[in-house]
């Protein structure tokens, strides 16, 4: 039976992934800062909920130590934030030019970029133990330079471009340990982050991502893949 560790599994895509993997008979470790009623409501023996501050390296280290004997088939770095600033005009709410805020940028980079990096370091042995260990980080097509045709969203785009860069390096650095590393675009999905006008519902995105993750091979390692399996340019 496979074990999947998912960060931010308390709502949105993370919760959808947790539900889907449990339905498929996997063991799920849900790493969240606070468990939601929806997550605890899934309660079953296969679900292991761990609460911790995901941006605190000491707390992440303690969780990793407690999982030292486990095998993790798939580590999914899902938790992330867009950094919306309420009270500004729409384009500026999402970090438009002229609204640089160092503290906000730090918060966005902390969870979108620093946590995936640190968690991969802390859990690589558990992932390497799996027959086909995979590290999947939820990035976004908004982190692609080639696909940026509308500007704006500075902090979010930069954090996702950064996470794309670390996944590319991990693909090379972890190949010898037998670990596949990719960045994944989930599509534009109707969650708190994606909003109600987004293209896909959570189930469509999640089932697509699962299918992509299931068939990952070393040829895919280091790529930015969409939930429909297509490769996106950097």
Ligand X SMILES: NC(=O)c1ccc[n+]([C@@H]2O[C@H](COP(=O)([O-])OP(=O)(O)OC[C@H]3O[C@@H](n4cnc5c(N)ncnc54)[C@H](OP(=O)(O)O)[C@@H]3O)[C@@H](O)[C@H]2O)c1
> Can residue 198 be called a binding residue for ligand X (CB under 6 A)?
yes
> Can residue 126 be called a binding residue for ligand X (CB under 6 A)?
no
How open is the CA angle 189-20-23, to the nearest 5 degrees?
Answer: 160
The site map against ligand X for 153-192 (x = CB under 6 A) is --------------------------------xx-xx-xx
Stretch that binds ligand X, among 42-50, 73-81, 83-91, 207-215 (CB under 6 A): 73-81
> Can residue 118 be called a binding residue for ligand X (CB under 6 A)?
no
Identify the burial level of 104 via C-beta atoms within 10 angstroms of its C-beta, where 0-12 means exposed, 13-18 middle and 19 or more buried. middle
> Can residue 80 be called a binding residue for ligand X (CB under 6 A)?
yes
* Adjacent-strand bridge partners of 143: none
Q: Which is nearer to ligand X, 103 or 131 (CB)?
A: 103
> Can residue 105 be called a binding residue for ligand X (CB under 6 A)?
no
Q: Which is nearer to ligand X, 134 or 185 (CB)?
A: 185
Minimum Å gap between C-beta 188 and ligand X is 4
> Can residue 31 be called a binding residue for ligand X (CB under 6 A)?
no
CA 206 to chain centre: 12
The site map against ligand X for 53-72 (x = CB under 6 A) is -xx-----------------
Torsion, Cα 34 133 114 192, to 10 degrees, reads -50
- The Cα–Cα gap between 152 and 19 comes to 34
Minimum Å gap between C-beta 84 and ligand X is 10
Q: Which is nearer to ligand X, 131 or 149 (CB)?
A: 149
35, 104, 128, 193: which one binds ligand X (CB under 6 A): 193
> Can residue 14 be called a binding residue for ligand X (CB under 6 A)?
yes
Residue length, the chain? 234
> Can residue 22 be called a binding residue for ligand X (CB under 6 A)?
no
4, 6, 13, 161: which one binds ligand X (CB under 6 A): 13
Binding site for ligand X (CB under 6 A): 8, 10-14, 33-34, 54-55, 78-81, 111, 138, 140, 185-186, 188-189, 191-194, 198
């Amino acid at each position: 039976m496979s074990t999947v560790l998912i960060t931010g599994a308390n709502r949105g895509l993370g919760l959808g992934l947790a539900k889907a993997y449990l339905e498929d008979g996997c063991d799920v470790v849900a790493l969240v800062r606070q468990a939601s009623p929806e997550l605890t409501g899934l309660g079953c023996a296969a679900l292991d909920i761990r609460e911790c501050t995901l941006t605190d390296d000491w707390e992440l280290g303690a969780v990793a130590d407690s999982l030292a004997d486990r095998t993790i088939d798939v580590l999914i770095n899902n938790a992330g934030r867009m950094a919306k600033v309420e009270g500004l005009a729409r384009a500026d709410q999402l970090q438009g030019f002229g609204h640089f805020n160092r503290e906000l940028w730090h918060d966005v980079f902390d969870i979108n970029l620093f946590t995936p990096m640190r968690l991969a370091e802390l859990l690589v042995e558990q992932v390497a133990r799996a027959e086909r260990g995979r590290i999947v980080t939820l990035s976004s097509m908004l982190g692609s330079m080639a696909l940026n045709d509308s500007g704006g969203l500075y902090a979010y785009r930069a954090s996702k471009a950064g996470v794309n860069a670390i996944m590319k390096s991990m693909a090379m650095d972890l190949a010898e340990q037998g670990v596949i590393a990719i960045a994944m675009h989930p599509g534009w999905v109707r969650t708190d982050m994606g909003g109600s006008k987004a293209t896909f519902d959570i189930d469509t995105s999640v089932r697509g991502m699962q299918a992509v993750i299931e068939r990952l091979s070393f040829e895919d390692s280091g790529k930015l893949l969409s939930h429909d399996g297509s490769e996106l340019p950097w």
